[in-house]
């Protein structure tokens, strides 16, 4: 039975998108919902909302405070330089490889204004991963900070790179981009033009590049904006207007879809100040929340857990927080009640979306989340349709388990240079196959129970088991390897590996970790490594019996606690 809050959400949403509402909904050629009266491209979005909120502080970072107007002006100048000095033309890929900083945001805006495709490089990648990403997308230019510039150089690829001193104020940080002093005209950008490539780890090992159009990216943003407008409408009716202007702590990486869509781009739409963290530190996060009067916090569940557990939490006034959201991984049910007790003025929330859906999918808010803490919530209406599919892509009824599929105008366009993976990702009726297993209850709340993909989600980071196995197999003493996820209270799950060596060479867990540290990002290195004296168990097909290994070692870890 729908909850009281469900009724309020549905009634207020009808006002927001109905006749006379602030958001006008139309249907595209495939019948999917899009916003008709908001900008349909990212350059138009930047210009429109930076003008609307011009004097509002947009970014606070390392002592610098930039308004939306200043951000847009810097991005426009940089876009002209990209065209004139670097010869970027419409459709060129430009990679951005930096930590969170104002220069990341300005570079992202400028690439899109110049008609380029912004390639969002995972800032944690090591040399081999970076080589794959750059070789796949072949960017005309890489804009990076000093640390990523060194990694880019180590790839050996002939890609023009500009290193920015991102720790400096924005004018100094961008100075290397303006040294040539040539300005060029900006092209017309259309909704159907390609806008972004984000990298996603799947079951096939190497990261794929998910290509999205401007229409898809903006639809993803507006799905979140409409959800916020709906909740704000409920607060207004209840006589509880929120703080103005709102402020969010940007503690997730901007190269992630969560950082890009619901955090960065949505902040433009709602005039929300972004307080940037260069890297995650729970103590520093507490200080910034108190000092800057942060109203909205979102991160992987691990982050909110670390805020709750931090010994200095009681030293800070955190009363400005009104919402603590999570995404990227499942939040343990026990954490929901603990969140409510730890942050009594803040409401918990959970979101579910993927890189390929531009972060849209479902959200579970406030009391609904407390009542159904195991659920990812209802779909982002009216933009998202959720289906549960059997192996023949037939839609299943409520309560039946199958693969979760999402249909939306926010869905990505295709995998870059991978038509086979693109075709496999979509059903004939335009649903994206998520690889997650779940069901819808009688109130259309989604419950995720398993994954079809051979991936691990470590604190919100997707890790391909196959990729880590391939890296382990490069070790000359490894004969067999199996990588899988095991539960972890702080991170949800972590990678574990079982190895077998038939050589006489001693194989230790530490030696394998040291070997992997040069080949994969640190978060992909197995937290647990076991070395077998005998060959690993096999299925009748000859494949390693990963299920038996995983269940056995998961049980052993549980019993050891």
Residue 556, domain member (yes or no): yes
Burial of 507 (0-12, 13-18, 19+ CB in 10 A): middle
* 474 lies in some domain: yes
Other beta carbons within 10 Å of 436: 20
Query: How far, in Å, CA of 205 to CA of 191, rounded?
Result: 32
Q: Is residue 423 part of a domain?
A: no
Q: Are strands 273-276 and 296-299 parallel, antiparallel or unpaired?
A: unpaired
| CATH code, domain carrying 52 | 3.40.50.980
- Of the three residues 190, 210, 230, the one that is the final residue of a domain is 210
**72 within 8 A of 44, measured Cβ to Cβ:** no
48 is a domain residue? yes
Tokens of 180: 């040539």
- Read off the pTM: 0.87
Contact 241, 227 (CB under 8 A): no
Alpha-carbon distance of 315 to 318, in angstroms, equals 9
Q: Identify which of 416, 391, 346 has the alpha carbon closest to the alpha carbon of residue 206.
A: 416
The pair of three-digit structure tokens given for residue 297, joined into one six-digit string: 């916090």
- Of 155, 190, 210, the residue at which a domain comes to its end is 210
Residue 527 tokens read as 């937290």
Residue 280 lies in a domain: no
User: 546: domain CATH number?
Assistant: 3.30.300.30
Query: Hey, which residues does 213 pair with through a beta bridge?
Result: 194
Q: To which H or E segment does residue 75 belong?
A: helix 68-84
- Which of 325, 491, 493, 492 lies closest to 483 in space, CA to CA? 493
Determine phi and psi for 386, rounding to 5 degrees: -105, 135
Q: Is residue 441 part of a domain?
A: no
Task: Give the range of the structural domain holding residue 152, as residue numbers without chain letter.
Answer: 42-210
SS (H, E, C) 346-374: CEEEEEEECHHHCCCEEEEEHHHHHHCCC
Q: Cβ neighbours of residue 109 under 8 Å, at least 6 residues apart?
A: 42, 43, 46, 71, 72, 75, 78, 79
Asked if residue 525 lies in contact with residue 513, where contact means CB atoms within 8 angstroms, the answer is: yes
Residue whose token pair is 């606070």: 60
Of 183, 210, 237, which residue is a domain's last?
Answer: 210
* Residue in 231, 222, 219 with CA at minimum distance from that of residue 13: 231
Q: Is residue 419 part of a domain?
A: no
* Tens-binned pLDDT, residue by residue, of the chain (561 aa): 889 999 999 999 999 999 999 999 999 999 999 999 999 999 999 999 999 999 999 999 988 999 999 999 999 999 999 999 999 999 999 999 999 999 999 999 999 999 999 999 999 999 999 999 999 999 999 999 999 999 999 999 999 999 999 999 999 999 999 999 999 999 999 999 999 999 986 545 678 999 999 999 999 999 999 999 999 999 988 888 776 779 999 999 999 999 999 999 999 999 999 999 999 999 999 999 999 999 999 988 778 888 988 999 999 999 999 989 887 766 767 678 778 888 888 888 999 999 999 999 999 988 899 899 889 999 999 999 999 999 999 999 999 999 999 999 999 999 999 999 999 999 999 999 999 999 999 999 999 987 777 789 898 888 888 788 888 988 888 888 899 999 888 888 999 999 988 776 678 899 999 999 989 999 999 999 999 888 888 765 566 888 889 888 888 887 776
Domain count, the chain: 2
In the numeric block, the tokens 């998961």 are attached to: 554
| Strand-pair category, 480-488 with 492-500 | antiparallel
Distances (CA, A) of 428 to 30, 418, 556: 12, 18, 43
Q: Is residue 512 part of a domain?
A: yes
Assign 3-class secondary structure to 291-351.
HHCCCEEEECHHHHHHHHHCCCHHHCCCCCCCEEEECCCCCCHHHHHHHHHHCCCCEEEEE
Give the CA distances from residue 211 to residues 114, 512, 547, in Å, rounded to whole numbers and listed in that order.
17, 35, 33
Any idea which residue has 């980071």 for tokens?
461
């Amino acid at each position: 039975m729908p909850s009281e809050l469900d009724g309020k959400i549905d009634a207020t949403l009808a006002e927001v998108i109905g006749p006379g509402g602030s958001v006008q909904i139309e249907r595209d050629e495939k019948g999917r919902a899009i916003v008709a009266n908001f900008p349909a491209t990212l350059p138009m979005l930047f210009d429109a909302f930076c003008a609307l909120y011009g004097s509002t502080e947009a970014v606070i970072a390392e002592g610098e405070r930039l308004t939306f107007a200043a951000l847009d002006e810097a991005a426009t100048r940089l876009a002209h330089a990209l065209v004139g000095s670097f010869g970027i033309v419409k459709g060129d890929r430009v990679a951005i490889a930096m930590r969170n900083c104002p220069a990341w945001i300005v570079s992202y805006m400028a690439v899109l204004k110049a008609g380029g495709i912004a390639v969002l490089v995972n800032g944690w990648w090591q040399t081999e991963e970076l080589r794959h990403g750059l070789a796949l997308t072949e960017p005309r230019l890489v804009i990076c900070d000093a640390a990523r510039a060194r990694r880019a150089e180590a790839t050996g690829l002939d890609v023009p790179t500009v290193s920015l001193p991102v720790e400096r104020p924005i004018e100094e940080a961008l100075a290397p981009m303006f040294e040539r002093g040539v300005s060029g005209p900006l092209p017309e950008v259309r909704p159907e033009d390609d806008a972004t490539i984000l990298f996603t780890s799947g079951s096939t090992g190497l990261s794929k590049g998910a290509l999205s159009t401007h229409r898809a990216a903006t639809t993803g943003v507006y799905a979140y904006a409409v959800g916020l407008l709906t909740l704000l409408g409920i607060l207004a009716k209840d006589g509880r207007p929120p703080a103005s202007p709102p402020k969010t702590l940007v503690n997730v990486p901007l190269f992630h879809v969560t950082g890009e869509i619901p955090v960065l781009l949505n902040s433009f739409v709602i005039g929300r100040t972004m307080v940037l963290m260069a890297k995650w530190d729970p103590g520093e996060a507490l200080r910034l929340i108190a000092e800057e009067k942060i109203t909205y916090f979102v991160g992987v569940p691990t982050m909110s857990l670390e805020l709750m557990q931090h010994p200095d939490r009681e030293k800070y006034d955190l009363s400005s927080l009104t919402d603590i959201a999570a995404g990227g991984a499942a939040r343990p049910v026990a954490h929901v009640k603990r969140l409510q007790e730890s942050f009594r003025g803040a409401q918990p929330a959970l979101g579910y979306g993927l890189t390929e859906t531009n972060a849209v999918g479902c959200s579970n808010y406030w009391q609904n989340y407390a009542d159904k803490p195991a659920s990812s919530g209802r779909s982002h209406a009216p933009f998202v349709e959720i289906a549960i599919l059997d192996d023949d892509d037939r839609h299943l009824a409520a309560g039946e388990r199958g693969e979760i599929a999402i249909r939306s105008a926010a869905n990505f366009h295709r995998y870059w240079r991978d038509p086979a993976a693109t075709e496999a990702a979509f059903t004939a009726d335009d649903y994206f196959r998520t690889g997650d297993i779940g069901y819808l209850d009688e109130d259309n709340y989604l419950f995720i129970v398993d994954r079809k993909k051979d991936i691990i989600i470590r604190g919100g980071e997707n890790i391909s088991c196959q990729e880590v196995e391939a890296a382990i197999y490069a070790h000359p003493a490894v004969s067999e390897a199996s990588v899988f996820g095991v539960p972890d209270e702080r991170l949800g799950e972590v990678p574990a590996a079982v190895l077998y060596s038939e050589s006489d060479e001693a194989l230790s867990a530490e030696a394998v970790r040291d070997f992997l540290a040069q080949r994969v990002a640190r978060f992909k290195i197995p937290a647990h490594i076991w070395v077998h004296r005998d060959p690993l168990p096999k299925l009748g097909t000859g494949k390693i019996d990963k299920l038996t290994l995983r269940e056995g070692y998961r049980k052993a870890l549980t019993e050891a606690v």
